[in-house]
Amino acid sequence: MIDISLLRNDIGSLEKILKHRGFDLDVNFFNSLEEERKRIQIKTQELQQERNDLSKQVGVLKSQGKDASDVLNKVSNISAQSKEFELQLALIQEKLNNFLLLIPNVPHESVPLGPDETSNELVKEVGTLPEFDFEVKDHVDLGAPLGLDFDTAAKVSGSRFVFMKNDIARLHRAIGQFMIDTHTENHGYTEYYTPYLVNGDSLLGTGQLPKFGDDLFVTQKNDDESLYLIPTSEVSLTNSVRDEIIDAKHLPIRMTAHTPCFRSEAGSYGKDTRGMIRQHQFDKVEMVQITKPELSYEALEEMLSHAENILKALDLPYRVMTLSSGDMGFGAAKTYDIEVWLPSQEQYREISSISNCEDFQARRLKARFKNQEGKNTLVHTLNGSGLAVGRTLVAIMENNQKADGSINIPSALQPYMKNKTTISI
Rounded Cα–Cα distance for residues 335 and 360 (Å): 14
pLDDT at 199: 95
In the chain, what percentage of residues exceed pLDDT 70?
Answer: 99
Candidate list 278, 319, 349, 406, residue with the active-site label: 278
Per-residue pLDDT 10s for the chain (425 aa) are 999 999 999 999 999 999 999 999 999 999 999 999 999 999 988 888 887 877 777 777 777 777 777 777 787 888 888 888 899 999 999 999 999 999 999 999 999 999 999 999 999 999 999 999 999 999 999 999 999 999 999 999 999 999 999 999 999 999 999 999 999 999 999 999 999 999 999 999 999 999 999 999 999 877 778 999 999 999 999 999 999 999 999 999 999 999 999 999 866 666 788 999 999 999 999 999 999 999 999 999 999 999 999 999 999 999 999 999 999 999 999 999 999 999 999 999 999 999 999 999 999 999 999 998 999 999 999 999 999 999 999 999 999 999 999 999 999 999 999 999 999 98
In the set 34, 50, 191, 350, the catalytic residue is 350
Binding positions for L-serine: 232-234, 263, 286, 383, 385
Please say if 263 is a catalytic residue. Answer: yes
Predicted pLDDT of residue 48? 84
Residue 309's contacts (CB-CB under 8 Å, 6 or more residues apart) are 182, 186, 187
pLDDT of residue 56: 78
Catalytic residue among 21, 160, 368, 391: 391
What confidence score (pLDDT) does residue 80 get? 85
As annotated, the binding site includes: 232-234, 263-265, 286, 350-353, 383, 385
**Catalytic annotation present for 353:** yes
pTM to 2 decimals?
0.93
Cα–Cα distance for residue pair 105/383, rounded to 1 Å: 15
Query: Is 82 designated active site?
Result: no
Q: What is the tens place of the pLDDT at every residue in 362-396?
A: 999 999 999 989 999 999 999 999 999 999 999 99
The annotation places the binding site for ATP at: 263-265, 350-353
Q: Out of 302, 353, 355, 363, which one is annotated catalytic?
A: 353
Beta strands 218-220; 226-229: pairing state: antiparallel
At position 54, the amino acid (one-letter code) is L
Sign of the Cα torsion 354, 358, 360, 365 reads positive
**411 Cβ neighbours under 8 A, 6+ residues apart:** none
* Signed CA dihedral, 408, 413, 417, 421: sign only: positive
Distances (CA, A) of 405 to 137, 144, 164, 227: 9, 10, 17, 43
pLDDT attached to residue 82: 86
pLDDT computed for residue 269 by the predictor:
66
Name the active-site residue from 263, 363, 364, 368.
263
